[in-house]
Structure 1
Amino acid sequence: MKATIRDVAKLAGVSISTVSRVMNSPQSVVESKRRKVLEAVEQLSYQPNSFARGLIYRKSFTLGLLIPDIENMYYAGIIRGMQEACNKLGYSLMICNTDRESARLLSYIDTFHEKQVDGIVFASDRMSPEYYEKLSAYRIPVVMLSSHSDEFEIPSIEVDDEAAAYDAVKYLIGLGHQRIAMMGFNDVNSVSGPPRLKGYLRALSDGGIDAASLLGRVKHAAHYFEHAYEAAHELFMEYPDTTAVFCVADEFAMGTISYLKDQGVSVPGQVSVIGFDNVRMAGIYIPKLTTIAQPTFELGYRSAEKLHELITTGQTEIMREKLLHKLIIRESAGTVS
C-alpha cells in the first residue's frame, strides 16, 4: 500500500504539519526534525500528494493559462516556458483555448474558479471590464502575457511592440526600400496591432518617407496563413510596385511569400518580406524568414514566475515588464533590385 503523509509523521514521531513543512519549506523546520522526516520519507518511499498539500495550504498548486488560439505556432514556446517554470515552482498547468470568444473565455474563468487554480496567465487578449469584474469577484491573481491593460492595474509581461516594428521597418529602409507595405491584424481587440502599426509609421517618417502616402499599403488579415495570402493578393493588385512587406506575424509572412511565389515573384529578389515572432518554422521555411524574434520561452517562463510572486506576496516588483526583442536576419529580405 502506498505510504501516506500520516504514515511518515507517525514513523518520524512528528505532526502531519511538520512533514508538510519539510516537503514545502524545509528551512522552516529545525534540523533534527527535518532529518527524521527525510529518513522516514526515504524508508517509506513516500511521494507527496498534491491534493493533500492543497488541503493544508488551501492552494491547488495549479496555474491556469488562457490563450486565444492553441493552433498558433507562437504559443508553443510560451507554453513550454510556462511548463518549465511550473515544474520548478511546484505547480501543474491547466491550459484553455478561448478561440477569441468572449462567452467561452468567461466560462473558462468560471472553470478555473471551480478548480481553485491559484492564479491565471491571461495571454494575447484585451482585458475587458467584464473579464476584469469576474476575475476580481473570484479574487484570482492574474498576470497578462503578450498584452497589457491601460485601464486596470494588472501585472504584465511583453516585448515593446512599437520598438520591434520600428526596427523591422528601419532594417528594410536600410536595404534601400521606400515602397514598404504592412500586413497587420484586423482584430479590433488586438493589443499588439496598434503599437506595431505605430512603429511602422514612425520608422517611415524617421527614414524620410511620407508615411501618409503609404497608408493604402497597410492591409489587414485575420490570424492565419490563408488570410494573409488573400490580403497579399489585394495588396499587390492595388500596389504592384511594392518592394517590401512588413508582416506582424511570421504566419502572415509565410502567406505573403506563398502568394508571391504563386505569381512568379521572387523573394527576396523582387520583393522583400520580414516577419514577427520567430516561430520555429521561420528558420525552416523557404526562404528562411528574416524576422523579429520574441523570446517566447522566456515570456512564458517569466509569466509563471511573475504570477507565483503575485500569489505568494500579493504584488510584483515590476508591474509592466518588457523583455528584449531581436532582429534575426535570414534570407527573405534583401536590397532593392
Structure 2
Amino acid sequence: MSITIKDVAKQANVSVATVSRILNNLPGYSNETQERVEKVIKELGYQPNEVARGLINRKTKTIGVILPNVSDLFAGEILAGIEEQAYASNYSVMICKTNYDNKRKIKYLQTLYEKRVDGIIIISERITQDFYKAIEMIKIPVVLVATQSDYPLPFIKVNDYQASYDATTYLVKKGHSRIGMIAGSEGDIISTIPRVKGFREALNDAKITFTNEMITYGDFSFESGIDEMNNLLKSYPEVTAIFCASDEMAVGALSFLYKKGIKVPDSISIIGYDNTATAERAIPPLTTVAQPLKEMGKASIHLLLDSSVKIDQIYPHHIAERDTVRSYSE
C-alpha cells in the first residue's frame, strides 16, 4: 500500500494542509515543523503526486517542445540543452514532431494545452498567422529557438544573414573567387532567404558577380547535399569553394566528392553551417559556421521560467576552422 500525504500528516502530528504547504514551498509553518515533516517524509519514503501538486500550484512542471524533426543533429543539439536545463530546474519535457505540417503544429499545440504544460518551446518552425492565433488562444508562455516571427514572441537565434555573410567572406579572404552555395529549402523565410542574402551581398562587396548558376537548393539533409553537389558541379564546374547552409548538406557534398575522386580541400573547399557533432566527425573534419545550439536550448528554459531574462536574444556565431578549406591567399 502506497504512503499518502495523510500518513505523513498523522505521523508528523500536523494537518494535511501544513504538509501540502511545506511540499509546495508556501509560508505558514515554523522551521521546527518543516524539519519534522521532512524527516517523516524521508522515513516513510513518501513520493508526492506531481499531478496533485500541479492542481494546487497550477503547475505541472512540464514543458512542451514543438519542432519539425527530431532525427537531425541540429535539433538534437538544441534538445540536449533544453532537456539538461529542464532537468536541472526540476521540469520534464514533452517533444512533438510536426514534420513541417502546419495542421499538425496546431494540433500539437492543443494537445500540449490539454496536458497543462507550463510553457512551450518552438524550434525552427515558421509562425504562420493561424499558428500564432492558436498560440494566443491557449495563453501559455512560448519561446522560439532558431527562428523568429513578425509576431511578439520571444526568440533565441543567431543572425543568419550575418553568419552567411561571414562564411562567404571567410572564403573570399582565403583567396577564392569562384564560390558556390548549396542553400536550404527554396523560399524558406526562416533560414534560406537570409542566408542566401548574406551569401550574395558578401560576393557583391567582394566585387564578385553573382549568377544563378552559383547556387542550388536542397532541404538541409545529407541526401540533398549529395544531389545538389552534383547539380552545382554541372551548373558551375569552375567552382573552387562551396558554402553549404547546413553541416548535413556539407557532409553529403563531401561524400559525393569523395566518390568522384575530387579531393577536399585540394580541388574544392567546403564550409558548413551549425557546427554539429557531424562536422567534427567528417572526413576531413569540416570547417563550419558555429552556432551555440546547446547553449541556445538551455537559454530557452531560462527565458520561459524567468521573466527578468532579456526577451529577444541574438547569439554569437563564429567560424570553426578545421580541414576543408584551402587558402590561396597565404
Q: Report the TM-score, using the length of structure 2 for normalisation.
A: 0.93
1:280 paired to 2:277: yes
Partner of 1:323: 315
What code does the residue aligned with 1:61 have?
Answer: K
Partner of 2:58: 58
1:70 paired to 2:62: no
Distance 2:286 2:28 in 1: 52
Q: What stretches of structure 1 move > 6 A for 4+ residues in a row?
A: none
1:148-177, CA deviations, whole angstroms, 9 ceiling, x for partnerless residues?
Answer: 112x10011111212221221121111100
Distance 1:236 1:168 in 2: 20
1:187-218, CA deviations, whole angstroms, 9 ceiling, x for partnerless residues?
Answer: 534402222122222322333323xx244312
Matches within 5 A, 1:47-196: 47-150=47-150, 152-196=151-195
Task: Choose 300-309 or 246-255, whichever is displaced more.
Answer: 300-309
Distance 2:243 2:313 in 1: 25
What code does the residue aligned with 1:35 have?
Answer: E
Q: List runs of 5+ in structure 2 lacking aligned partners.
A: none
Q: Report the 3-state secondary structure (helix = DSSP H, G, I; strand = E; otherwise coil) of the residue aligned with 2:243.
A: strand
What code does the residue aligned with 2:322 have?
Answer: R
Distance 2:293 2:81 in 1: 7
Partner of 1:312: none
Matches within 5 A, 1:224-243: 224-243=221-240
Return the offset for 1:5.
2.5
Distance 2:12 2:109 in 1: 42
What code does the residue aligned with 1:330 have?
Answer: R
Provide the alpha-carbon RMSD of the alignment. Answer: 1.9
Q: Is the 8 A contact 1:265 1:271 kept in 2?
A: yes
Partner of 2:216: 219
Task: Choose 98-107 or 186-195, whichever is displaced more.
Answer: 186-195
Task: Choose 163-172 or 63-72, whichever is displaced more.
Answer: 163-172
1:203 paired to 2:180: no
Q: List runs of 5+ in structure 1 lacking aligned partners.
A: 310-314
**In 2 relative to 1, CA 96–28 (structure 1 residues): closer, same or farther, beyond 3 Å?**
farther
Count, aligned residues: 329
Partner of 1:43: 43
What code does the residue aligned with 1:327 have?
Answer: I
Return the offset for 1:104.
1.4
What code does the residue aligned with 2:167 have?
Answer: A
What code does the residue aligned with 1:260 have?
Answer: L
**In 2 relative to 1, CA 24–197 (structure 1 residues): closer, same or farther, beyond 3 Å?**
farther
Q: Report the 3-state secondary structure (helix = DSSP H, G, I; strand = E; otherwise coil) of the residue aligned with 1:149.
A: coil
Q: Report the TM-score, using the length of structure 1 for normalisation.
A: 0.91
Q: Report the 3-state secondary structure (helix = DSSP H, G, I; strand = E; otherwise coil) of the residue aligned with 2:284.
A: coil
**In 2 relative to 1, CA 113–270 (structure 1 residues): closer, same or farther, beyond 3 Å?**
same
**In 2 relative to 1, CA 28–88 (structure 1 residues): closer, same or farther, beyond 3 Å?**
farther
Distance 2:152 2:71 in 1: 30
1:83-113, CA deviations, whole angstroms, 9 ceiling, x for partnerless residues?
Answer: 1111122211000111001121121112112
